[in-house]
Amino acid sequence: MDRNGRTRHPPPRVCTAVLLFGICTAFARSADFELPPLNSPPTTETHPGKMLWADLVTPDLAAAEKFYGGLFGWTFQSLRGGRSDYALALLDGRPVAGLLQKAIALGEHRQSAWLTFLAASDIDSVKRLAVSHGAKVLADTKLYPMRGRQCVLSDPEGAVFALLASSSGDPPDYLPVTGEWIWSSLHAKDAGSEAGFYQNLFGYDVFELPSDDGLNHLILSTDNYARASTNDLARGSARRHSHWLNFVRVENAAASTAKVLALGGRVVVEPRMDRHGGMVAVVADPAGAPFGLMEWSDSDTKEEPK
């Protein structure tokens, strides 16, 4: 109010400046965050249904970096922007995974987890197909210009996975080195139905493998390479739900399991022989996110199918 009783307003120029500052600040925040490409240099390859990335969601990024760095020798590059605290995990300078810190609301119980990304160059068609076969969209398609377009879905049994149309092409088919993802398995109430669902999306060849436990264990392949397995959930507990599990290649599963314990993680499935003749184990990081360890000697792949 001035002495004549009139309300004083800031001059229009000041209002405009404040408005412009606000707009610039908001867009600067949005422009900060950019994921790097999967492949550098880019490839022209497409491998629908290939597991090509994994993101961890955790309430404690620093603790996760300490754990995975100690276990696999991963190093981390911090990417901060917007509301995200994200670390890119690198192995010998190559991106191998992402670690995202997300707060869990007070009073909420949520399980830290690794999210499995499957290659889908035509992401819109695959997403539509998935929804028409009973999937739900948990996070709709979003573009990260250098990384690509991605969305998060849950399959008909509720197992959560993501689709990624990589801007830099799909990674070539190499034998992963120690410390890289080597395998993914889906554990479901009905492995056969789930195999059918994913076959519809990616055109997988589905191979039935012999089992000693009376459960279905199926191999999903494309390009004449095994990409993943679908497995009936193990019996004996009511507290199971359908989920994807990703395995990192290790030299020695028993030694890595001991390291997991020393770093504050826990063992979920003790090391055991799997069908390729190497040991596998399932462990969980300090926040409880489960993942697998798999030994694979270079001679395990006896014949190059391609």
Partner 1 sequence: MKITASRLLASGLGAMLLVLLYACAVTGVEGSVGYDGGYYEPYGYDYGGWGLGYRVGPSRCCDHRDDHRDVHREDHPGNRGGGRAPAYRPAPAGRSAPSIPGRSRTH
Interacting positions 59-78 with partner 1 (CB under 8 A): none
Three-state secondary structure readout of 44-92? CCCCCCCEEEEEEEECCHHHHHHHHHHHHCCEEEEEEECCEEEEEEEEC
Of 57, 96, 126, 260, the one binding partner 1 by CB under 8 A: 57
Of the candidates 144, 163, 145, the one whose C-alpha atom is nearest the C-alpha of residue 153 is 163
Site for partner 1, residues 184 to 213, rule: CB under 8 A: 185, 187, 190-193, 195-197, 199, 205-213
Looking from the CA of 33 toward its CB, the CA atoms found within 13 Å total 16
At position 296, the amino acid (one-letter code) is: W
Three-state secondary structure readout of 277-292? CCEEEEEECCCCCEEE
Interaction between residue 13 and partner 1 (CB under 8 A):
no
Nearest distance, CB of residue 236 and partner 1, angstroms? 5
Kindly give, in sequence order, each residue whose CB lies less than 8 Å from that of residue 44, ignoring residues fewer than 6 positions away.
169
Of 38, 119, 165, 294, the one binding partner 1 by CB under 8 A: 294
Interaction between residue 118 and partner 1 (CB under 8 A):
no
Nearest distance, CB of residue 48 and partner 1, angstroms? 16
Nearest distance, CB of residue 123 and partner 1, angstroms? 14
Interaction between residue 240 and partner 1 (CB under 8 A):
yes
Q: How far, CA to CA in Å, does 286 sit from each of 103, 111, 258, 271?
A: 16, 11, 14, 19
Region of 38-46, 64-72, 251-259, 287-295 interacting with partner 1 (CB under 8 A):
287-295
Looking from the CA of 258 toward its CB, the CA atoms found within 13 Å total 4
Of 127, 149, 217, 259, the one binding partner 1 by CB under 8 A: 217
Interaction between residue 111 and partner 1 (CB under 8 A):
yes
Interaction between residue 2 and partner 1 (CB under 8 A):
no
CA distance 183 to 241: 20
- Per-residue contact track with partner 1, 119 to 138, x per CB under 8 A? -------------------x
Of the candidates 108, 66, 109, 101, the one whose C-alpha atom is nearest the C-alpha of residue 85 is 101
Region of 66-74, 119-127, 220-228, 251-259 interacting with partner 1 (CB under 8 A):
220-228
Region of 65-73, 120-128, 172-180, 252-260 interacting with partner 1 (CB under 8 A):
172-180
